[in-house]
Structure 1
């Protein structure tokens, strides 16, 4: 970090160079965050007995009660009429039967295709599969999609809007290619297969007849009897040259309620207690595969969850010893992140405290490992920081100030680019706060070979580094909770729909 730049940033925040001296009170309570405690909590939450903490599972409820009991023991308040739980009204939508036949070929679900749409039918529908290729007005003028299954080519594009456009044009459903290469598709199909039979968890909505079948580029070529390269060329400007195929499909669905909760502990502030800092993580993971393999979720996001626990313990201890924060702090562990950021969506749309009084969200999702980029680096003391300067010119500077003062980690911003192909900004719970113009900061360690694998286990966690990251987050939170003015919202949310 260039100290001249940092001094300029400090002065912009009304700080002086002398304020870079460490605050011994902060250091005292930061040091209550230890590797031993983090390991103890994580060893429980990511144990085989917790069976991957799937949303709505018995083990997910055990995890929720474990967190609530922890906050109660710390002396934090249950802010939901005395309760530590906010019920999230989720349902499980299970597609009991999905079939797709093109020509004489019966395709196999989660091998030849993945069903990503919606629908519920009493009997199979018969129609034609036509090729549209790229979704634009020119191609739609050349191909009659009314009442048909429509093959679209959406590699490198956000597909939801394209599907909507085709359905609005009268299509009965969509067969989509969104990635090239059989290996890429197989990874997605294997994920769906491992989760088969459990149903999709989400908020209850009116069923829409919107059948969407994802296939590989190779499979799309097979369905139309056309080499892939020829199909890609036709997709651009002459989709009508590809011969249509007879097709039939069936979608049958059932919906059942799911018991799921956000868990929260509340620490009331002093003179600025109506303003609330939210520190969040998700405590759910993806459960158990269809073959019984356990996705322990030690890094994702056991690491973030136990970091929130330790940070809560540090603040609660400080409060008991006369160092209560000026602003209130809500320690929030959400459910359903792995199902689509559901718990944080529900909280942000149904907040326990007025959303306009929420000054910041600090979100912690995967902070226990070293990723591909740093695995061979000489200095592995890093953390990725995402979203910190989009809505506020203050937040990034405050975090950097606390880092250089207390922890000296490498703050890596590579995934904060708006065109980041990984789209990490859109993939964790801070997103649902930022959409309400709340300045957010997301701490992340990047991906590794064990990401969303059954090998994401406690023995792989880098506890000393995880502790250092938790110290930085604590110091930044302390600063945000105690500074005279809340961080300005002087930026624009340039990152819209997921």
Structure 2
């Protein structure tokens, strides 16, 4: 019995010693992640020369060249099209649609899009339509189903945006041309709203699919001024509401005959995800994706949005981590699993780069065991004004309880940062789990951890600049992601997926 106890103690001591040695190795490479290197990367990524890195622009392509050059200098493999022509770029087409001609003509009077009304939807190559407008009160489902509305337009009086989404979905299924609704109750309110929303409706929308290829282009919703509403329907908004409240027949409201044409123009652009790979050893067929997005929102009103935190901080971080892992490979301490570093384009346009990758992965998605995604880790937010030791984590427990436990254990072993799970709450109104590139992995049931510092007053503003970055905090958070990746890359078992989206 005594011999057995001694043997057990000896084995435990050996395992502990091995663990300590492994930790020392991880620490050695984590310490190559430095404030100076992070700052050097970020000074380039968030410089005026890159013009805000908007998807498809010269600045975005300059950033892509800088990241790929860094991957190459560190010795990362160029993993795209390896059988044909090794490349760090996963290039793909995007389609940019922007407002073109738009008007509503009633007799000899013409109302202009983005002045008298606004619209959303997909009206590409649309001819002028002469459409009957049917008044349907507040847009109750039974009122839609009482009559044949195919090829007609419908007017509803409804301020509930959640219900409006349902109405638009119903309209699409019934082949209705468009839903008309007032944007405001009074003309002064309409003018105030116009100053806020005009830029949104006039901006270019970028998509992965070509909207010009849609068989039946739809307008979707048309938001009218109160003046245009009254001219079209012969009653003011308050009179229409009184009509609804009195439960009078909707068929008694007769709209003036009108013609309208609302169009968008489409051009094709190219953009690219930037990928660099470190091949694993005995478990190289299993892949860990470490990601960020490197695009930002470009120039608005003549001012450059440098995007130092969003997401220059995450991009600088994965460049530093790739260098640390590459050095480990050179020293003979390379990871057991393959590491794929991806800087995504098009995140600000709707997670387009990560969606394209998920649809066209260079390694089958079933081989990807986890995605560690970073979006804004260089600042503090208002709830943590004096806390230099926190980071928000989202998603770690959504698909794999084991991944969550590994993440917690790594943090305890190396840092003891305050891991804030506020945004991990399924009922949180910001719904962060669905708003960055990790979602395109999570929706394919690949476990994810998303790292962020939360929002601050400079979010999506020209004031998100390098001088606001807290580099010691950025280094600490980058090292936390590195240690987590190191553990996941070298442990015996991949995290168990015990939940499904």
Query: What TM-score do the two structures reach when normalised by structure 1?
Result: 0.84
Q: Is the alpha carbon distance of 1:488 and 1:173 closer, same or farther for their aligned partners in structure 2, counting shifts above 3 Å?
A: same
Q: Map 1:176-191; keep pairs closer than 5 Å.
A: 187-191=196-200
Q: CA deviation at 1:172?
A: 0.6
**Distance in 2, Cα, partners of 1:229 & 1:369:** 51
Residue 363 of structure 2 corresponds to residue 353 of structure 1: yes
Q: CA deviation at 1:372?
A: 2.8
- Per the alignment, in what secondary structure is the counterpart of residue 52 of structure 1? coil
Q: CA deviation at 1:489?
A: 0.9
Between 226-235 and 34-43, report the one with greater CA deviation. 226-235
Indicate conservation of the 8 Å contact 2:95/2:268, yes or no. Answer: yes
- Per the alignment, in what secondary structure is the counterpart of residue 268 of structure 2? strand
Which residue in the other structure is 1:55 paired with? 55
Q: CA deviation at 1:482?
A: 1.0
Indicate conservation of the 8 Å contact 1:100/1:107, yes or no. Answer: yes
Q: CA deviation at 1:428?
A: 0.9
- Per the alignment, in what secondary structure is the counterpart of residue 284 of structure 1? coil
Which residue in the other structure is 1:65 paired with? 65
RMSD: 3.4
Q: CA deviation at 1:354?
A: 1.0
**Distance in 2, Cα, partners of 1:28 & 1:179:** 61
Between 330-339 and 114-123, report the one with greater CA deviation. 114-123
Residue 405 of structure 2 corresponds to residue 397 of structure 1: yes
Which residue in the other structure is 1:481 paired with? 489
Q: CA deviation at 1:364?
A: 0.7
Q: Is the alpha carbon distance of 1:381 and 1:173 closer, same or farther for their aligned partners in structure 2, counting shifts above 3 Å?
A: same
Q: CA deviation at 1:23?
A: 1.4
Cα distance per residue 1:340-390 (max 9 Å; x no partner): 111111111110001100000111111122223223xx4342221111111
Residue 209 of structure 2 corresponds to residue 200 of structure 1: no
Cα distance per residue 1:177-200 (max 9 Å; x no partner): 79998777754433444x3xx553
Q: Is the alpha carbon distance of 1:105 and 1:415 closer, same or farther for their aligned partners in structure 2, counting shifts above 3 Å?
A: farther
**Distance in 1, Cα, partners of 2:164 & 2:453:** 28
Residue correspondences, number: 472
Indicate conservation of the 8 Å contact 2:205/2:349, yes or no. Answer: no
**Distance in 2, Cα, partners of 1:25 & 1:236:** 77
Which residue in the other structure is 2:289 paired with? 278
Indicate conservation of the 8 Å contact 2:90/2:273, yes or no. Answer: yes
1:330 maps to which of 331, 340, 356:
340
Which residue in the other structure is 1:85 paired with? 89
**Distance in 1, Cα, partners of 2:87 & 2:403:** 31
Query: What TM-score do the two structures reach when normalised by structure 2?
Result: 0.84
- Per the alignment, in what secondary structure is the counterpart of residue 90 of structure 1? strand
**Distance in 2, Cα, partners of 1:284 & 1:396:** 29
Indicate conservation of the 8 Å contact 1:22/1:406, yes or no. Answer: no
**Distance in 1, Cα, partners of 2:242 & 2:314:** 43
Indicate conservation of the 8 Å contact 1:134/1:236, yes or no. Answer: no
Between 148-157 and 18-27, report the one with greater CA deviation. 18-27
Which residue in the other structure is 2:9 paired with? none
Which residue in the other structure is 2:130 paired with? 126
Which residue in the other structure is 1:448 paired with? 456
Indicate conservation of the 8 Å contact 1:61/1:260, yes or no. Answer: yes
**Distance in 1, Cα, partners of 2:240 & 2:299:** 41
Q: Is the alpha carbon distance of 1:67 and 1:179 closer, same or farther for their aligned partners in structure 2, counting shifts above 3 Å?
A: farther
Q: Larger Rg: 1 or 2? A: 2
**Distance in 1, Cα, partners of 2:308 & 2:76:** 25
Give the gaps of 5 or more residues in structure 1. 1-14, 494-498
**Distance in 2, Cα, partners of 1:390 & 1:94:** 37
Which residue in the other structure is 1:382 paired with? 390
Q: CA deviation at 1:461?
A: 1.7
Residue 120 of structure 2 corresponds to residue 116 of structure 1: yes
Cα distance per residue 1:153-178 (max 9 Å; x no partner): 37352865542211222311123679
**Distance in 2, Cα, partners of 1:235 & 1:145:** 24
2:316 maps to which of 285, 306, 314:
306
Q: CA deviation at 1:125?
A: 1.8
Between 437-446 and 416-425, report the one with greater CA deviation. 416-425
Which residue in the other structure is 1:249 paired with? 260
Cα distance per residue 1:189-217 (max 9 Å; x no partner): 33444x3xx55343224233210236489
Between 269-278 and 441-450, report the one with greater CA deviation. 441-450
Q: CA deviation at 1:109?
A: 4.0
**Distance in 2, Cα, partners of 1:177 & 1:478:** 55
Cα distance per residue 1:299-337 (max 9 Å; x no partner): 211111111111111111111112101100000011111
Indicate conservation of the 8 Å contact 1:430/1:442, yes or no. Answer: yes
**Distance in 1, Cα, partners of 2:227 & 2:317:** 44
Residue 498 of structure 2 corresponds to residue 490 of structure 1: yes
Q: Is the alpha carbon distance of 1:412 and 1:112 closer, same or farther for their aligned partners in structure 2, counting shifts above 3 Å?
A: farther
